[in-house]
């Protein structure tokens, strides 16, 4: 996997030991869990029906060496035992704040709204089915953000490892542990170099495009919310939402530092490959049309917004095209051809083709993409013939 490296065995064992300790519900005896009026970091956890994962993720936060924190749990109208479990945790830990939506709002809304409601100087986002895997990661990240360089750094990016999970919910013995390796640990990268390199993938200076492996200045996330637009993050987006938030963060950030410490553990279900999880086909028909059309629709909303945000930035050409190329992998193209979003996808190609900064080579590639998807559609090509000339 390009850009990734196997963890050192000792780090792998240490991270796994901490995650298992938290998964078993263990709590270190010296953790006082006293509410702070001015928490250093607010941990935002969006969640929907996560009763089976809550103990693990909450304990991985409570056991952190940094105790001046706030745990903001955004319950997205769960209908299982998520809320009563949260209320039980809150009785033992006054640092927990519970926000419950009256109806589903989507992950990106929960992240941004959770940050708006938080009180921390910095915020970080944890998926409810993941965990922190380093007992000191928040303390160290906060040190780099506020003291190491005698100035406030807006993003501290640390490393991620992960494993697959079998059908019984057990950590797979053939787990994949990997970490993204930028080439400039502990160096301050400043705007506009941050977004320039994020768009063009130069030197990997911005680290990963994940949302969950960083702490952010709370002020930055508020700016990101304004940059993306409430009309976008208010749309109950549940698929690829992290891409939109990552784009906003890299565009709006004034400074970022990558550190080499491992900090986040990402759990991957054994059946979460794109093809098996989302794009199941029964012959030429979608097996779950409502669910699939919703996810494809979210993707189209997010891609369209990114194209709008980068309309006047010629340096984003490589990034814009890469987003669309993702649609042509792992079954996307077959499903789009059979979904209600087929015309919207062709219109997106048209926008790329007519973009004022599109190069001749890019237009040739776009024509090839259009031909590729048209051959999967069971209708004449005449409607879009002008894109094939």
Going from the first residue of the chain to its last (389 residues), give the mean pLDDT of each consecutive group of 10, the final group possibly shorter.
68 90 94 93 97 96 98 96 97 97 91 96 96 97 97 95 77 69 84 83 69 96 94 81 88 94 83 46 66 83 91 88 71 73 85 92 86 66 57
Q: Which CATH architecture has domain 4-269?
A: Alpha-Beta Complex (3.90)
Strand partners, 3: none
DSSP 8-class letter at 331 = T
Strand partners, 96: 71
Q: How far is C-alpha 297 from the geometric centre of its chain's CA atoms?
A: 18
DSSP 8-class letter at 266 = E
Q: Report the 10 Å Cβ neighbour count for 208.
A: 21
pLDDT at 1: 47
pLDDT at 156: 96
Please, how many CA atoms are within 13 Å of residue 195, restricted to the half-sphere of its CB?
A: 17
pLDDT at 323: 80
CA angle 225, 230, 231 (to 5 degrees): 145
Dist. CA 389–CA 384, nearest whole Å:
10
Identify the CA nearest to 66 among candidates 7, 115, 138: 138
Q: Report the 10 Å Cβ neighbour count for 270.
A: 12
DSSP 8-class letter at 79 = -
Task: Report whether 140 contacts 122 (CB < 8 A).
Answer: no
Judge if pTM exceeds 0.85.
yes
**Beta strand pairing call for 4-6 and 41-47:** unpaired
pLDDT at 281: 56
pLDDT at 96: 98
Q: How far is C-alpha 191 from the geometric centre of its chain's CA atoms?
A: 21
DSSP 8-class letter at 150 = S
User: Can you tell me which residue has the tokens 């890469």?
Assistant: 322
Task: Report whether 244 contacts 232 (CB < 8 A).
Answer: yes
């Amino acid at each position: 996997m390009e850009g990734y490296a196997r963890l050192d065995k000792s780090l792998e064992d240490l991270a796994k030991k901490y995650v298992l300790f938290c998964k078993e519900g263990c709590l270190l005896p010296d953790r006082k869990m006293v509410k702070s009026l001015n928490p250093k970091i607010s941990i935002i956890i969006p969640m929907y029906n996560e009763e089976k994962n809550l103990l693990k993720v909450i304990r991985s936060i409570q056991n952190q060496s940094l105790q001046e924190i706030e745990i903001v749990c955004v319950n997205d109208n769960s209908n299982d035992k998520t809320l009563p479990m949260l209320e039980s945790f809150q009785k033992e830990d006054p640092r927990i704040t519970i926000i419950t939506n009256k109806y589903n709002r989507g992950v990106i809304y929960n992240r941004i709204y959770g940050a708006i409601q938080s009180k921390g100087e910095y915020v970080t986002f944890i998926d409810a089915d993941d965990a922190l895997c380093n007992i000191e990661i928040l303390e160290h990240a906060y040190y780099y953000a506020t003291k190491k360089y005698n100035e406030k750094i807006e993003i501290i990016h640390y490393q991620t490892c992960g494993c697959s999970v079998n059908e019984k919910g057990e950590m797979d013995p053939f787990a994949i542990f990997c970490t993204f390796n930028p080439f400039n640990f502990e160096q301050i990268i400043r705007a506009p170099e941050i977004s320039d390199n994020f768009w063009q993938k130069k030197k990997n200076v911005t680290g990963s495009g994940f949302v969950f492996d960083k702490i952010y200045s709370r002020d930055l996330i508020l700016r990101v919310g304004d940059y993306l637009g409430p009309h976008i993050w208010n749309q109950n987006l549940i698929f690829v939402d992290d891409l939109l938030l990552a784009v906003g963060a890299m565009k709006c950030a004034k400074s970022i530092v990558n550190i080499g410490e491992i900090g986040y553990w990402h759990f991957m279900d054994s059946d979460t490959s794109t093809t098996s999880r989302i794009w199941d086909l029964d012959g030429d028909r979608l097996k779950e049309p409502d669910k699939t059309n919703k996810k494809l629709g979210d993707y189209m909303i997010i891609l369209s917004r990114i194209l709008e945000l980068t309309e006047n930035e010629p340096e984003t050409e490589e990034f814009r095209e890469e987003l669309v190329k993702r649609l042509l992998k792992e079954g996307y193209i077959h499903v789009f051809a059979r979904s209600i979003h087929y015309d919207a996808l062709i219109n997106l190609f048209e926008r790329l083709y007519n973009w004022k900064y599109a190069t001749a080579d890019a237009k040739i590639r776009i024509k090839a993409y259009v031909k590729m998807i048209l051959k999967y559609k069971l209708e004449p090509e005449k409607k879009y013939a002008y894109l094939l000339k």
